[in-house]
Structure 1
Amino acid sequence: MHTLEPYYNWRNLYIASEDPRSPFFGYENSEVYFTDQIYNYLIHPQWDNFGSETLYLKVLFADYNQGFAIIEMLGEWNDLLHNDIMTLKRDVIEMMISEGINKYILICEQVFNFHSDLDSVDYYEEWQDELEEGWIAVLNTREHVLAEMSKFGIDHYLVMGGKLNDVSWRTKHPKILFSLIDEQVTRRLGW
Structure 2
Amino acid sequence: MELNQELENEERKKRIKREIVSWVKTLAVVLVIVVAIRAFLFTNYIVYGSSMMPTIQDRERVIINKIGYDVGSPKRFDMIVFHATETTDYIKRIIGLPGDTIEFRDDTLYVNGEMIEETYLSEIKTNFRTRPYTDDFTLEWLTGEQTVPDNHIFVLGDNRPNSIDSRHIGFIPFDKIVGKADIAYWPIKDLRLLK
Instruction: Normalising by structure 1, report the TM-score.
Output: 0.26
Instruction: Normalising by structure 2, report the TM-score.
Output: 0.26
> Which structure is higher in strand share?
2
Flag the structure with more relative contact order, 1 or 2, with Cα contacts below 8 A and sequence separation at least 6. 2
Query: Computing the radius of gyration over CA atoms, which structure comes out larger, 1 or 2?
Result: 2
